[in-house]
Amino acid sequence: MATGETGFDDVSFDLISVQYHSLKAGHDYGQYVRDARNAGENEIAEFFEQVMAEDSERARRCHEFLNQIRQTSKAGPAVR
C-alpha cells in the first residue's frame, strides 16, 4: 500500500476523508432540518433527517473499517 506524504496509506486517507465529509455534512444538515421545520416543510425536514442518518451511518462504517485495517500490516504508521 502506498503511503503519501501524510504518513497515511491511500485507503486510510480515503476512509478518513469520507468520514470527515460525512460528519461535516451531518452537522450542516441539522441546520437544513431546522430551516425546513421553520418553513413548515415537514416532508423536506424528514428528507434531510434521512440524509443525515445515512451520513452518520457512513461515518460509523468508516470508523469500523479504520479500526479493522489498523490491526493489520496494511495500516500506515499514522493509523497504528
Select the more confidently predicted residue: 72 or 78.
72
pLDDT of residue 24: 93
**What integer is the mean pLDDT of 46-54?**
97
Which of 5-19, 28-42, 61-75 has the largest mean confidence?
Answer: 28-42
**Structural domain includes residue 52:** yes
pLDDT of residue 1: 46
**Structural domain includes residue 33:** yes
What integer best gives the mean pLDDT of the chain? 86
Q: Domain count of the chain? A: 1
pLDDT of residue 76: 54
55 DSSP assignment: H
Distance linking the first and last C-alpha atoms of the chain:
14
Domain extent, residue 52, equals: 21-70
Closest CA to 62 of 26, 24, 12, 4: 12
* DSSP reduced 3-state for 23: helix
**Structural domain includes residue 47:** yes
**Structural domain includes residue 79:** no
